[in-house]
Chains A and B, each alone.
Chain A
């Protein structure tokens, strides 16, 4: 049976015989891989001396510490899924595991589906590991691809055929990694050691692996500040009144930052035109070019309203923010996304609580499941 050595595809329809032999078309956008030619593992520079030294900004809580130690033990023998609620500090949880690997002079990669997060995460990890050379590899940053610790998008993993002794996969349930067989295959073939998946909302695939025993799940249901997760309030209102409900809610939180998630860019723009008459508004979608700047201004203002689409559902931490999901029953949103959006609230020590509102046009099972999942997490945390 033929199999692509890079994306692990076995579907014959994707193989083509060219002038130099068979190649795989499924992952062709990452460059051509010949099936019959020997594919050498990529070799990178050895890990430098002392790179394993680390300092954390805040000490881990007892619950975090416990998980971090267990995880560092398990990665020698098994893949690990760290199932943590949003804002549980999952990056900090793997620092111990990274340090352990670096001490053994092993290569570690931290891979994330979304490009925007890569640079920010590199800064954070570089702060934790002051002596290590931490490189960020993503679109626009590909001059340097080797370091002691590599932070990259899941797209860039194609550069590292059979390299990593430990692959940390952050948010494997996020777009575009979720559902992409090619990216899954490439992640699989970039490592020769074990893998840690970090997720607040693991998908069926990961849970299936856990059932099969090829993956061990560690659960952390509490945020470092110990407060329960904010549970969304679901409000079913007819379409025509929804806008008024939104205004009322925004008015109630006029002294705080508010994020309003909207199903589509068009709708976000329409809402923006109305709302900017009433509130200090900004718009943040995948079409926004100066997104970083918009986010910074929003952060500094402390009482602004940000209208955003699903691109903003992950990875963003803003002080004292409240969240409303407009038309939360829309099929654009899925349960994982809703959990993530609700997870924007109460992430900071100074403001551990906040308000989450789901505005629906009709009863929505997804929204209800999301509320149930968050309630359960809160119950388990006690």
Chain B
């Protein structure tokens, strides 16, 4: 099997491969990711992330998201899947929206692929505000709404919600999602695969 990032053939294998042969990344590529479980508060909600957003992680994420390399789908949660499944039993994964044009061009929802390996119930209740929604607003209001997130019409929200994203940089998108949920959800948690170093 070849490492999905560096392409190196791993037939010879390292010691770790003997016990952990499924990791789609080789030991070297994996070691460039900085694994660190951190927990922090964001908009009054407990948030958790598993990796520090560094150069290696971002390279991989860009190859997956921007270059549409779907083969990388299981790379991101490979190490932490069991832990997440256990920790968030009973929760429903709520994926954050990406912009319509981007996912249309991509032809797949990258978060859906990424979180599919958890085999947990999953919904996509949000959408980004479109210019259609802003028709009757004035300029200031429109600017304020630019990156806003709203609930799709007629979504049924489950009781326990885990808001999921690939990375938390400033937290603005997450706060937008929280605002969209408002009081409608009973129990909310946040999970991002990686977090910017500032959250450490």
Contact = CB atoms under 8 A, between A and B. Distances in A.
Q: Do A and B originate from a single complex?
A: yes
A379 B70 CA distance: 57
B25 to A, nearest CB: 14
Contact of A18 (B4, B9, B63, B71): B71
B71 A32 contact: no
Given A13-B2, A14-B7, A28 B69 contact: yes
Interface in B73-132: 107-108
Interface string A2-24: 00000000000110101110010
Contact of A28 (B1, B67, B107): B67
B68 interface: yes
A31 B67 contact: yes
B7 A32 contact: no
B107 A20 contact: yes
Nearest to A29: B67
Contacts of A344: none
Contacts of B70: 16, 18-19, 23
Given A13-B2, A14-B7, A25 B107 contact: no
Interface residues of A, number: 13
B2 A19 contact: no
Q: Kindly state the interface size class of chain B when it binds its partner.
A: 10 to 19
A26 B63 contact: no
Contact of A25 (B9, B69, B108): B69
A19 B107 contact: yes
A31 B1 CA distance: 23
B67 A32 contact: yes
A19 B64 CA distance: 13
Given A13-B2, A14-B7, A19-B108, A25 B68 contact: no
B68 A18 contact: yes
B21 to A, nearest CB: 16
Interface of A: 13-14, 16, 18-20, 23, 25-26, 28-29, 31-32
Interface of B: 1-2, 4, 7, 9, 63, 67-71, 107-108
Given A14-B7, A20-B107, A25-B69, 9 more contacts: A13-B9, A18-B70, A19-B108, A20-B108, A25-B4, A25-B7, A29-B67, A32-B68, A32-B69
Instruction: Rank and list the top 10 A-B pairs by shortest CB-CB distance, nearest first.
Output: A18-B70, A16-B71, A19-B108, A32-B68, A28-B69, A13-B2, A20-B107, A28-B67, A25-B71, A19-B107
